[in-house]
Amino acid sequence: MSYFKTKPPQIAKSEGKLGVLIPGMGAVGTTFIAGVLSIRKNLSLPIGSLTQMGHIRLGKRTEERNPAIREFVPLASLDDLVFGGWDIYDRNCYEEAVTAGVLSARDLEPIRDELSAIRPMPAVFDQSYVKNLHGTNVKSAATKMGLAEQLIDDIEAFKKTHGLSRLVMVWCGSTEVYQPLADVHRDLGTFEVALRENDPRITPSMIYGYAALKTDTPYANGAPNLSVEIPALAQLAAERQLPICGKDFKTGQTLMKTIIAPGFKARMLGLSGWFSTNILGNRDGEVLDDPGSFKSKEETKLSVLDTILQPKSYPQLYGDFYHKVRINYYPPRGDNKEGWDNIDIFGWMGYPMQIKIDFLCRDSILAAPLVLDLVLFLDLARRAGMYGIQEWLSFYFKSPITLPKLYPEHDLFIQQAKLKQTLRYLMGEELITHLGLDYYDE
């Protein structure tokens, strides 16, 4: 795409309301919505959100310019967000937030009425893709194309009813069983025929992705299944000039991994093994207890170390490490996951050392601010005319989507630099190289 070779784009103003559509209004979806409602009332702080709390350095260090990101780039205001979505359970967002058990009654009570007013629309769902769930709030149609058309009607009605000027969709639904790329995904024409023929290789998350792009809605995928990461939907995104990104929110153990592993490599410390195991008891844990859904997750969790450590370039340090990831469903723990890591490293002359991490985290608390940032940045990208895969949003994902010829960047700090450089580029600011020699020449 040529936009990086030309002048910074004109960014259309953020006028009117922005609709946020969430397929899968479970723990993450409702924690995100509840958080935004609470922040709007000044009852909470948007902790964890770069768009709301981050600053960005501009120009030379001596200029001391460090504006808040939300003042630097023209993002939609939180007051302009309107929420909607789909779920297989017919529970309003207040009821679902209580069931999810992430937020306390003290935090939910002041926003109870607004949350209760958001009721999920019937979902496109098929149990063969998520084995451990049984829901009744589900659409039916003779073909998958018929289901896509119903979603398109839902989206258009949502836009009209709320008088929205723009939309964004973020998949927060359960992880689907592993579905590798297949020939039916290769181009839009083939994909549309397959939708009409009910091809089993087209999963519900792909149908949502298709409906989003057909209605000019940018799309982010928070789960590890393919969804829009198929050539057919990349083609549709390019044709309609819409931004897409994914996949799998980077929270918890993988966030830690992509913070720590770049440090080992920066200091040339070797790695002989990394064993990661989790216990969690929320519905996500129950879904991931199914081997098919776990396989989708395992793929995204395992790939990070290889790309960060580059074993081919550093065979003595990283040529032979053992990497294992486990997720154990343990109901008493609810959403409060515990992630253990045992890391075997080695240093000078090969002497071994160990690091143990015990992260008592809260999954949805870590994921909710990512959903907010993705909504605001995707909407910004759309208004700036950026379309196709948004690699600058890799910062938010365990397994960032890239062009097939590129490997994904997993190092959190490279991802952060990429994101901030993109914002500087968009606003016509000088890109920062961190060279710094110029200060000493003066």
Ligand X SMILES: NC(=O)c1ccc[n+]([C@@H]2O[C@H](COP(=O)([O-])OP(=O)(O)OC[C@H]3O[C@@H](n4cnc5c(N)ncnc54)[C@H](O)[C@@H]3O)[C@@H](O)[C@H]2O)c1
SS (H, E, C) 191-207: HHHHHHCCCCCCCHHHH
Q: Which of residues 103-132 bind ligand X (CB under 6 A)?
A: 123-125, 130
In the complex, the smallest distance separating the C-beta of residue 101 from ligand X, rounded to whole angstroms, is 10
In the complex, the smallest distance separating the C-beta of residue 347 from ligand X, rounded to whole angstroms, is 33
Residue 121, H or E segment: strand 121-122
**Pairwise CA distance, residues 395 & 374, whole Å:** 10
Q: Looking at 21, 27, 73, 419, which residue binds ligand X (CB under 6 A)?
A: 27
Dihedrals phi, psi of 423, to nearest 5 degrees: -65, -40
Which range of residues in 26-34, 55-63, 236-244, 428-436 is near ligand X by CB under 6 A?
Answer: 26-34
* 238 or 357: CB nearest ligand X: 357
Q: Looking at 222, 281, 339, 369, which residue binds ligand X (CB under 6 A)?
A: 222
Measured CA to CA in angstroms, residue 395 lies from 209, 216, 380, 398, 414 at distances of 21, 24, 16, 8, 8
**Pairwise CA distance, residues 248 & 397, whole Å:** 5
In the complex, the smallest distance separating the C-beta of residue 96 from ligand X, rounded to whole angstroms, is 7
CA-nearest of 13, 151, 27, 165 to 99 is 27
**Pairwise CA distance, residues 321 & 358, whole Å:** 21
**Pairwise CA distance, residues 91 & 107, whole Å:** 19
Paired tokens of 193:
């025929």
Q: Does 246 contact ligand X by CB under 6 A?
A: no
In 3-state terms, what secondary structure has residue 55?
strand
Which range of residues in 4-12, 61-69, 278-286, 305-313 is near ligand X by CB under 6 A?
Answer: 278-286
Q: Does 223 contact ligand X by CB under 6 A?
A: yes
In the complex, the smallest distance separating the C-beta of residue 22 from ligand X, rounded to whole angstroms, is 9
Give yes or no for a contact between 23 and 359, defined as CB atoms under 8 angstroms apart. no
* 249 or 387: CB nearest ligand X: 249
For residue 3, how many C-alpha atoms fall within 13 Å in the half-sphere facing its CB?
Answer: 17
Q: Which of residues 362-391 bind ligand X (CB under 6 A)?
A: 363-364, 366-367
389 class by beta-carbon count within 10 Å (0-12 exposed, 13-18 middle, 19+ buried): buried
* 308 or 366: CB nearest ligand X: 366
**Pairwise CA distance, residues 372 & 78, whole Å:** 9
Binding string to ligand X for residues 330 to 369, with x set by CB under 6 A, is what? ---------------------------------xx-xx--
Q: Does 251 contact ligand X by CB under 6 A?
A: yes
Which range of residues in 33-41, 186-194, 279-287, 375-383 is near ligand X by CB under 6 A?
Answer: 279-287
Q: Does 273 contact ligand X by CB under 6 A?
A: no
* 125 or 264: CB nearest ligand X: 125
Give yes or no for a contact between 346 and 38, defined as CB atoms under 8 angstroms apart. no
Amino acid identity of residue 327, one-letter, is I
Residue 338, H or E segment: strand 338-346
Q: Does 419 contact ligand X by CB under 6 A?
A: no
In the complex, the smallest distance separating the C-beta of residue 149 from ligand X, rounded to whole angstroms, is 16
Quick one: angle between helices 27-40 and 363-383, nearest 10? 70
Q: Does 93 contact ligand X by CB under 6 A?
A: no
Paired tokens of 35:
């958080």
Q: Looking at 221, 227, 276, 282, which residue binds ligand X (CB under 6 A)?
A: 282
Q: Which of residues 137-196 bind ligand X (CB under 6 A)?
A: 172-175
Which range of residues in 148-156, 244-252, 350-358, 413-421 is near ligand X by CB under 6 A?
Answer: 244-252
> In the complex, which residues of this chain contact ligand X (CB under 6 A)?
23-29, 86-89, 100, 123-125, 130, 133, 135, 172-175, 204, 222-223, 248-249, 251-252, 282-284, 287, 363-364, 366-367
